[in-house]
Structure 1
Amino acid sequence: MEHKQRPLGRPRQNKNTISTKDKIVNIATNLFLNKGYQIVSMDDVAKECDVTKATVYYYYATKADLFTDAMVQMMVRIRENMYTILSTNKPLKERLLDVAKIHLTATMDIDIKSFMRDAKISLSDKHLKQMQDAEDKMYEVLAQTIDKAIQEGEIPKRHTLLSAHAFVALLYVGDYKDVDQKPLIPDIEDLAQQIVDFYWNGLSK
């Protein structure tokens, strides 16, 4: 089954069949991802949503609240999409390759680590905990898949959560670009394959 539709965590683009709050958070997600937390204002979100700033503030008291909800919902979508991909009957390595391709495609224009680092300096401990909880649940989906593969004898016994974190860490390495904004490997299919091969070499021995 091909998974080339919507990038892994991006919201749906149909603005006509969703509530005002969902419209605000969906548009805000794309603004934050494209421009960064510090640049985007509540005015920007209101204008893009074609609503008043008061409407945005009705649902979100602060930009930090809006950003946190946007990121939490994005991670929920990522978790759901990962679950769908990882629940197929393909061998584990092929499922990991599908996840890698979609992740690398979705993040090829975003420096995720810098993006989150810039935002976190403006967030409270409460906001950070909400995002950390959502992120942990993403890792749990992958860890459960690895655990099942261990139970079925597809791979040797491993620390499942560590294995999940290691895989995602390698995906972030794949997002690396040098000072001229050149990626490690330009072709995403090749990059995804090499990352998964590298990871699988350690996981399966």
Structure 2
Amino acid sequence: MHNHNIQKKKPGRPKLTNDSNITRDQILQTASYLFMTFGYEGVSMEQVADASNVTKASVYYYFKNKATLFTIAVSSMFRRIKIQTDKLLNSSNGLKHRLYEVTFEHLIRPHIDFETLLQEASLSLTEEHIQEIRTAENEVHQALENIFKQAMENGEIVVKNPLLLAHAFSTVTMIRNKKELIIELGGPEKTAQALVDLFWVGIGPK
């Protein structure tokens, strides 16, 4: 009876072992990299399968279509960023150094303009898909806001609006989309330092 059930499994369906979660996570991380590098239309389920070193049937086993894969992959990416940002909240380094670490991580991660990517994908997404992505994105802003709130309470900064700072800082790090500029500024490390210095000091005379 047990053997009969195994034989009836669809070709390409992964074995339901402890490796299943690893395979699913591997597909998600690969898919988010591809989507953030090549856009929504530029990535197929077959490309995701090839890059993940699994069958296309395995990708469809975990994710019923590209819209679902995109939504979960991008949301998972934001949640990984949130976890990394949360770790910085507990870091003993000063705020300026922590902002540098966040910025550097952003600059070395592949990114096309996210709003453009989401607009491109939105024709294939449901309202629920978009809401799920926005919720995950907002969690990153919340994590950043918590860092600024802590710095404000510690007397490290004088600005009294952590929410504004979180969104403003996210906007500053969008320079990662300008690859030629990053090269001109001397690479991700020097660019991250310059961006944080600009955000920290501003442009007015002191």
TM-score range, shorter chain: 0.7 to 0.9
8 Å contact from structure 2 (residues 36, 112) kept in 1: no
Aligned to 1:62: 65
Of 151, 156, 170, 1:168 maps to 170
Tell me the equivalent position of 2:105. Answer: 102
Are 1:39 and 2:42 matched, yes or no? Answer: yes
Structure with larger Rg: 2
Q: Aligned partners of 1:97, 1:123: CA distance in 2, in Å? A: 34
Is residue 107 of structure 2 the alignment partner of residue 112 of structure 1?
Answer: no
**Structure 1 residues 39 and 159 mapped into 2: Cα distance closer, same or farther (>3 Å)?**
same
CA distance in 1, matches of 2:199, 2:51: 41
Amino acid at match of 1:154: E
**Could you say which residue in structure 2 is the equivalent of 1:7?**
none
Whole-Å Cα distance in 1 between the matches of residues 190 and 142 of structure 2? Answer: 27
Q: Is the 8 A contact 1:79 1:137 kept in 2?
A: yes
SS across alignment from 1:19: helix
CA distance in 2, matches of 1:182, 1:193: 14
Structure 1: how far apart are the matches of 2:196 and 2:181? 21
For structure 2, which runs of at least 5 residues remain unmatched after alignment?
A: 1-18
SS in 2 for 1:186: coil
- 23 and 187 in structure 1: CA distance in 2 versus 1, 3 angstrom threshold: closer
- Report the counterpart of residue 144 of structure 2 in structure 1: 142
Does the C-alpha gap of structure 1 residues 142 and 153 become closer, same or farther in structure 2, counting only changes over 3 Å?
A: same
2:199 corresponds to which residue? 199
After superposition, where does 1:170-185 map in structure 2 within 5 Å?
170-177=172-179, 181-183=180-182, 185=185
Give ranges in structure 1 of 5+ residues lacking alignment: 1-15
Residue type matched to 1:103 in 2? H
Which structure: greater helix fraction? Answer: 2
Q: Quote the residue 1:5 is aligned against.
A: none
Q: Retained in 2: the 8 A contact 1:38–1:119?
A: yes
1:174 deviation in Å? 4.5
Structure 1 residue 52: Cα displacement = 3.6
**Residues 81 and 47 (structure 1), Cα distance of their counterparts in 2 relative to 1, 3 Å cut:** same
Report the number of matched residues.
Answer: 183
Q: RMSD over aligned Cα, in angstroms? A: 2.3
Q: Would you say the 8 A contact 2:96–2:196 is kept in 1?
A: yes
Cα distance per residue 1:104-123 (max 9 Å; x no partner): 1224xx32334344333432
Aligned residues with identical type, % of pairs: 35
Q: Normalized against structure 1, the TM-score is what? A: 0.78
**8 Å Cα contact 1:105-1:188 kept in structure 2:** yes
